[in-house]
A and B are shown apart, each in its own frame.
Chain A
Amino acid sequence: MANILAVDDSPSMRKMVSFTLKEAGHHVITAENGEQGLAAARAETADLVLTDINMPTMDGISLVKALRDLPNYAHVPILVLTTESGANKKMEGKHVGATGWLVKPFNPEKLLEVVSKVLD
């Protein structure tokens, strides 16, 4: 049971992610873009952050960068959610401090598998 922050501008993705994680017994906070995500992250330190890359106002890359600058988040795993065509985005995410990535489309099982991988 962990505190997971999920940031994605697509409501259905947010719903899917939070539905899956809640079913698995996690506590999930969602945010619509980097800015909201950052605010939520500040309010309560999460055990894991999942963030989309393409989002309005503040994208995932900037969010990762900003999170790594927060003292509480130096060692919190951050995963970027990306699509195959965004291969270079994965690396961009990595460079600014993401722990790893999850390639869309993923199914709930894959999501849980990856999450459990970084949370243990």
Chain B
Amino acid sequence: MDLKDVVDSFYAESLEGLDLMENVLLTLPPGPVESEVINKIFRAAHSIKGGGGIFGFAEISDFMHGVETVLDQLRNGQREASNELSELLLETVDCVRHMFKAARDKKPVQQDRVTSLRQQVDMILHQSAPETSKLKTELMVNPKSSDWHISFKPHPGMLAKANDPLRMIRHLAELGSIRSQACLDELPPFAELDPTECYLAWEIELTADVREDEIEEVFSWVLDECDLIIKPLDSPAKQAGKSARIELKPVPSGDTLQSTDGPAASESIRVSIDKIDNLINLVGELVITQSMLSRFDNDISALDLETLRNGLSQLIRNTRDLQESVLQIRMLPIRFCFNRFPRLVHDISLKLNKKVNLKLSGEDTELDKTVLECINNPLLHLVRNALDHGLETPEQRRRANKPETGTLELKAYHESGSILIEVIDDGNGLNTDKIRKRALERGIIAAEDNLGEHQINQLIFQAGFTTAEKISDLSGRGVGMDVVKRDINDLGGDVWLESEFGVGTKVSIRLPLTLAILDGQLLRVGSEIYVMPLSTIIETLQINSDHINTLPGNSQVYRLRNKYIPIIRLDEAFNTNAEATKLEDGLLVIVDSERQHYGIWVDELLDQQQVVIKSLVSNFKQVCGVSGATILGDGTVALILDATGIVSAFTKRHNVSGMAVA
């Protein structure tokens, strides 16, 4: 560790603190403030101010001073919260962010912005509330002298706080030369003496070229616990000739900042102590297992199969636990992504003149850091869409007998090895007729296509599809829901939409928890082995030939508990040769893609196992129906299947969209 690390961590921590301030300020109701709430952000502001001075961000520290004072007044009940105040503080949060970034990138700060905000904060402070700025103007003009007399009489209890009078006297001795005399008048007889109390007093003569306040400084911690008289021994005339000295406040050296070479912010991740401790425990167990097994190395005759077998199964368990825990390190709560939305929704709804109540839930749901970073944009787009096109204006809502304030909900939770994120609004919902019409115009569907409402709604994920009456600068930037869908698909997830006209819309995103490994089902088609992520498999079944129905166009469906499920032959989809020729000789893997079920037909099911995901794209390119590859135990490569890709290629080829609904 060096000082640069410390400054880096201060920087990261300050940005977090600012995020926290922002989140609290966004929901701060007018009126008196709850102390728990304000304490949190006061602490954040306080740390930024305190650390700012230490780490060479003096300007920021200075700027935060006013903000801290305002927050302190809120905290003490001297001031009440108001929307105007929150807005102003939010602006200061943005401004401090800007100042940090400017400092980091070595760019000039927008001085006008800083000055104007400072003035606004100062104005608020001067409007009312007692300011302590008096202290500054009180800068006493201290007489300076070279000879001083000091009477120092500690109160009996001073020692109890670990303040040692001798320490102060020694400190005085550092200022110049001293002559001191202890005064034993108060010393009780030995029998009555309490060793924890101080009975002594001192008369000290100091010869040093110092001011009175410099001497007082020596005693500053105990001023309330002693009688202290400091008198100059000089004649006043002697002092008059001396020029006043201007005190220079010690300015923390800027070196700490200057020495950091460029931004070079290497990516890092904050891991909770619990996770690290867990890892250490697991490594401990591993070491135990190892010592258990290495016994055989020393004495092969001691080898008994039972112990060896136990040892091996323990090793397998250790390895798996360790793997899981290591992956856990990459897992971050989705809070990091959700956190930005309160501000965003606040700003956008102001712009659109809409009233919105944002609800967040499941912020603690964890997912892989990479996934987390990649869902920011799709989510942003969905939220903008919901605000822009989904939610109505207060006027429209009144007319529709809805409360003026709309609700937008962001929800995250785990479901069978995946993470589900939902964006729910209680706005106008999708107009199915309009979408159908538009899809017909664009040639996305044909007039004879018999689509269910659900399927029509999914059409808005198709490229080049937008039903917005006019393009707004918020969501209509030429990228549409198709981009959202592509981004999500690229992450190995899928996205679908449920909507009821006039009632609201729910967009659901399902993502793998991690991009590093997955639980897979190995399948065989002919001589090829594939991996299907277990999270997409609903069930697997033997084929009963009575349940197979053939539709015109030679596509087949399977009847499963009164639902007709399209059959996708993997050998056809992948243009390869299966071993079985008849459907009933193979197996059906029922998968879920965008909340519809499909049966993928294969020769045989093999093992289930956890596989490490490898990229196909880094050396090659995206392949339809394949999300990646993995290396099996024998060193050969197996492709990981992407059910959504297989299904969409299949539906395009067979145009079965009309029959997919039961």
**What is the interface of chain A, defined by CB distance below 8 A to chain B?**
9-13, 15-16, 19, 54-56, 68, 74-78, 81, 83, 85, 87, 91, 94, 97-101, 104-107, 110, 117-118, 120
- Return the chain B residue nearest A104 by Cβ: B50
Tell me if B47 and A13 are in contact (CB < 8 A): yes
Tell me if B6 and A85 are in contact (CB < 8 A): no
Tell me if B167 and A117 are in contact (CB < 8 A): yes
Knowing A15-B9, A74-B160, A85-B68 touch, does A105 contact B50 (C-beta < 8 A)?
yes
Knowing A12-B13, A56-B40, A75-B159 touch, does A100 contact B220 (C-beta < 8 A)?
yes
Tell me if B162 and A99 are in contact (CB < 8 A): yes
Complex Cα spacing A105 to B132, Å: 18
A-B pairs with beta carbons under 8 Å apart, 9 shown? A11-B9, A12-B7, A12-B9, A15-B9, A56-B43, A68-B161, A74-B160, A107-B250, A110-B250
- Return the chain B residue nearest A81 by Cβ: B50
| Size class of the contact patch on chain B | 35 or more
Complex Cα spacing A106 to B253, Å: 11
Complex Cα spacing A81 to B14, Å: 18
Q: Smallest distance from the beta carbon of B20 to chain A beta carbons, Å?
A: 12
Contacts of B50 in A (CB 8 A): 10, 13, 81, 83, 104-105
For residue B49, CB closer than 8 A to chain A, the reply is: yes
Partner of B161, one of A55, A99, A110: A99
Tell me if B162 and A77 are in contact (CB < 8 A): yes
Contacts of B159 in A (CB 8 A): 75
List 10 tightest A-B contacts by C-beta distance, closest first. Answer: A105-B53, A100-B221, A12-B10, A104-B50, A77-B162, A10-B47, A107-B252, A15-B6, A99-B162, A105-B54
Contacts of A74 in B (CB 8 A): 160, 162, 196
Contacts of B220 in A (CB 8 A): 100
Contacts of A117 in B (CB 8 A): 167, 171
Interface membership of chain B positions 240-264, coded 1 if the CB is closer than 8 angstroms to chain A and 0 otherwise: 0000000000101100000000000
Tell me if B54 and A104 are in contact (CB < 8 A): yes
Of residues 8 through 50 on chain B, the ones whose CB sits less than 8 Å from some CB of chain A are 9-10, 13-14, 39-40, 42-43, 46-47, 49-50
- Return the chain A residue nearest B5 by Cβ: A15
Tell me if A106 and B171 are in contact (CB < 8 A): no
Contacts of B422 in A (CB 8 A): none
Tell me if A104 and B53 are in contact (CB < 8 A): yes
Knowing A13-B47, A105-B53, A120-B170 touch, does A97 contact B132 (C-beta < 8 A)?
no
Complex Cα spacing A51 to B225, Å: 21
For residue B61, CB closer than 8 A to chain A, the reply is: yes
For residue B69, CB closer than 8 A to chain A, the reply is: yes
Complex Cα spacing A117 to B46, Å: 26
Q: Smallest distance from the beta carbon of A8 to chain B beta carbons, Å?
A: 9
